[in-house]
Amino acid sequence: MTPAPGARARPSPLARAGHYAAEYLPPAALLVALVAGWELWVRAFDTKPYVLPAPSRVWDAFLETRGVLPGHIRTTMAESLLGLFFAALIGVGLAVVIALVPFVRRVLYPLLIVSQTIPMIVLAPLLIVWFGFGMTPKVIVVALVGFFPIVVSTVDGLTNADRELVGLVRSMGARRLAVLRYVMLPSALPGFFAGLKIAAAYAVLGAVIGEYMGGSSGLGLFITRAQTSFRVDRVFVAVVVVALASMALFAAVHIAARLATPWIYVSKSEEGTK
């Protein structure tokens, strides 16, 4: 059966496999080379494990702690997801107000920028003093880390909506909320997800910073205990787990973005095949 005129033929499974191999094999090969070089360096120069443990020793430490790691991971991921949710909720709300009310934009936008100059490592202990050692201060830390890129990206998407389309909808009698719902918010979706990806990349790190300052569970507490016992290999285990968790959260947001804005990725794939 021949395809219709103008229709684009779907790539074969072999072509798709080749595409994925070309995209993912080089970084995977580089990672393997770096780990192998790390192992050879430690063995060649007899580096002490409390200075720089070999990857094989880090793997042994992972096997030693695999029974306690899942509980810490669940705590950190719960804090990260809750914080990311509130960051998105607050970020979108602020972005809508800033985009619709010019006076609020002039007053609030500079304060948002100034808020990012406060080191979170300084603010986290204060949040623990105010809210205790439970989950609340960690969620607040994650929300504070993540809401700024969401606000900035969403505001850009709202303010850069198609002016001709906005004018057309208004000429048909639509009020401000209708214009926001049917024109501005859909145009802001790509920017929102761009900011959400940035926030997702830092969400786990924000939770770990909060746990590092005080907590009863989580990867931050795991790192603190490993440092006090001079188990650098276990610190590296936690670092790898944090990196993998951040990648998983970023990938989840990327999948959500593809599902919510499929037209963007379809157009990009068509441009790539030209």
Domain spans of the chain, in order of start: 81-260
pLDDT tens digits for range 63-83: 999 999 999 999 999 999 999
How many CB atoms sit inside 10 A of residue 224's CB? 18
**Residue 170 binned pLDDT confidence (cut-offs 50, 70, 90):** confident
Q: Is the dihedral of CA 158, 118, 135, 229 positive or negative?
A: positive
Contact 65, 221 (CB under 8 A): no
Alpha helices in 46-135 (DSSP H): 55-65, 69-100, 102-115, 120-131
pTM: 0.84
Find, among 104, 121, 100, the residue nearest to 175 by Cα. 100
Residues 6+ apart with CB under 8 A from 84: 142, 143, 146, 196, 199, 200, 203, 249
Query: From 3.40.640.10, 1.10.3720.10, 1.10.10.60, 1.10.10.10, which CATH number describes the 81-260 domain?
Result: 1.10.3720.10
Q: What is the largest CA-CA distance in the chain?
A: 76
**Residue 268 binned pLDDT confidence (cut-offs 50, 70, 90):** low
- Spatial separation of the C-alpha atoms in residues 158 and 175, rounded to whole Å: 16
